[in-house]
Amino acid sequence: MNILLVFAHPEPRSLNGALRDVAVAELAGQGHAVRVSDLYAQGWKSVVDRADFPALAPGARLMPAPASGQAFAGGGLTEDVKAEQAKLLWADVLILQFPLWWYTMPAILKGWVDRVFAYGFAYGVGEHSERHWGDRFGEGTLAGKRAMLIVTAGGWGEHYAPRGVNGPIDDLLFPINHGILYYPGYEVLPAFVAYRADRLDDGGFAHVAERLRARMRTLATTPPIPYRRQNGGDYLIPSLHLRPGLDAPGTTGFALHVNGTAHEPG
């Protein structure tokens, strides 16, 4: 398979850097083609601004979504963004790797999403009608591909448990897994998370690395999180409310959008 790993840590000699090397070596060893977008090393521009839309007239009001759509449709996005989109089309599997900073991704990676996931590419795709509300949440440009997160967290795993003070890790990652990856069509594998990242000794690292290798060996076979398809009949259109009766009684929050219990291999 073709695999793209997007890496978002400023220090190559970090735990993240070491885990990236573990993942890439394991994938290459299996014969996969691997490319890495190292956002810090590339000097990735993280903010959406006028410079992203060279065709926008100097005095024109910047409306990011229409500007993005017009630039995408006309081939007028910047070269750095077009290169990342080409990598996404090339890759069968996308891996986003980052340290959890303030319960989500670092700014540089958010800026990769904000700029690369253009209108017409990752959103604003497909027809809107009474039966179909755009190609998204299970359909879209990146349908048929798989994606997963590799995340390090400084805190304890217990603090991210179902009753932990931070909130459950699956819920904290839902806006990314469901809102960023499932939205344009990816099948999303459960995240790989390493906790207490600042305190790992050699034995701890060896254990985490082995867990990660196992996940890299099963990219093609790990069952994805069974998010519900937007246009598959589970949601009313246009309210996009989950149809009554599909969920188990008492289900609330993000769990409504998962059909049954996700397999948790990592």
Q: What would the x/- binding string for its own copies be over residues 109 to 138, using CB under 8 A?
A: -xx-xx--x-------------------x-
Binding mask 59-98 for its own copies (x = CB under 8 A): --xxxxx---------------------------------
Q: Taking a C-beta distance cutoff of 8 angstroms, is the pair 26, 210 a contact?
A: no
Closest listed residue to residue 7, CA positions, set 185, 153, 149, 145: 149
Q: Minimum distance from CB of 236 to its own copies (Å)?
A: 9
210 near its own copies, rule: CB under 8 A? no
130's CB contacts (< 8 A; 6+ apart) are 237, 238
Asked if 54 is part of the footprint of its own copies (rule: CB under 8 A), the reply reads no
User: Per rule CB under 8 A, is residue 29 in the interface with its own copies?
Assistant: no
Determine how many CB atoms are found less than 10 A away from the CB of residue 140. 21
Of 168, 204, 226, 266, the one binding its own copies by CB under 8 A = 168
> Tokens 């006028």 identify what position?
50
Helix, strand or coil for residue 233? helix
Should residue 198 be labelled a site residue for its own copies when binding is judged by CB under 8 A?
yes
Q: How far apart are CA 69 and CA 74, in angstroms?
A: 8
- The encoded tokens of residue 44 equal 């990735």
Q: Under a CB-based contact definition with an 8 Å cutoff, are residues 37 and 7 in contact?
A: yes
Q: Which residues bind its own copies (CB under 8 A)?
A: 10-11, 13-14, 40, 46-50, 61-65, 99, 101-108, 110-111, 113-114, 117, 137, 154, 156, 158-159, 161-168, 171-172, 174-175, 178-180, 183, 198, 230, 235, 238-242, 250, 252-257
